Amino acid sequence: MVNVTENLLWRDFKAKAPNEKWTTDITYVWVNDQWLYLAAVMDLYSRRIVAWASGASMTEELVRTALNAALAIRRTSPWLTLHSDRGVQYRAQKYIDYAVSRGIKLSMSRKGNCWENAPMGSFFSRLKVELIYAKNYQTMEEARSGIFGYIEVLYNRRRRHSANDNLSLVQKGDPPALLGRQAKFDSSRSLIVTPKCEPPSTTQGSN
């Protein structure tokens, strides 16, 4: 397997400061008769979703758009580590070159090991249980709007996290100037399949 990097986290999901450790992943949401793909970037210091991008195809450009949005929002440290799984998007040379050129140290889970990116899996699971499965969105714009509200209004501001001693991100002291924002991305390109712990169902998305 080409362009696989070492696992630098080894399930150590605690960070001493913002922008020390980020993690990223892709999930998919079934909207009426098609998939909406969501790439997100999380800061492990507080579990804040720094930025995300959504689109109709699961491409390298989608994950790079999410990372670019995060870098536009945050002043990253020279010791920032960005962790992901081994999906083809994260192993794409263009994505790797983009991240490395910005001083990011890349880290990847072992093959087929979901637990090594557990915080992102937990976030996507909550998103689907608390929002997606209950809403049955009929259009992409409805889904994007709902996801925006969930992340910005609930998750990033009100949600209490066990990793933060049951404090919200505001109570944790995550700098308010570093709030996440949405990076919209639409693509008509064909689907690129990335290895996941479970295959997507025909009616609903899964991590």
Tens of each residue's pLDDT in the chain, 207 residues: 677 877 767 777 788 888 899 999 999 999 988 999 999 999 998 888 989 999 998 999 999 999 999 998 887 777 899 999 888 899 999 999 999 999 999 988 877 767 778 889 999 998 999 889 888 888 999 999 999 999 988 888 766 666 656 666 665 555 544 443 434 433 333 222 222 333 333 333 333
Q: Are 82 and 101 in contact (CB under 8 A)?
A: no
pLDDT of 148 reads 93
Q: What is the pTM of this model?
A: 0.77
pLDDT at position 154 is 84
DSSP tag of 178: G
CB 24 within 8 A of CB 67: yes
Q: In the prediction, which pLDDT does 193 show?
A: 26
Tokens representing 152 are 């910005």
What b-and-e string marks burial along 90-129, b requiring 16 or more CB atoms within 10 Å of the CB? bbbeebbebbeeeebbbbbbeeeeeebbebbbbbbeebbe
Q: What pLDDT, on a 0 to 100 scale, did the predictor assign at position 37?
A: 95
Q: Is the distance from CB of 161 to CB of 167 less than 8 angstroms?
A: yes
pLDDT value at residue 169: 65
What CATH class is the domain 21-184? alpha beta
DSSP 146: H
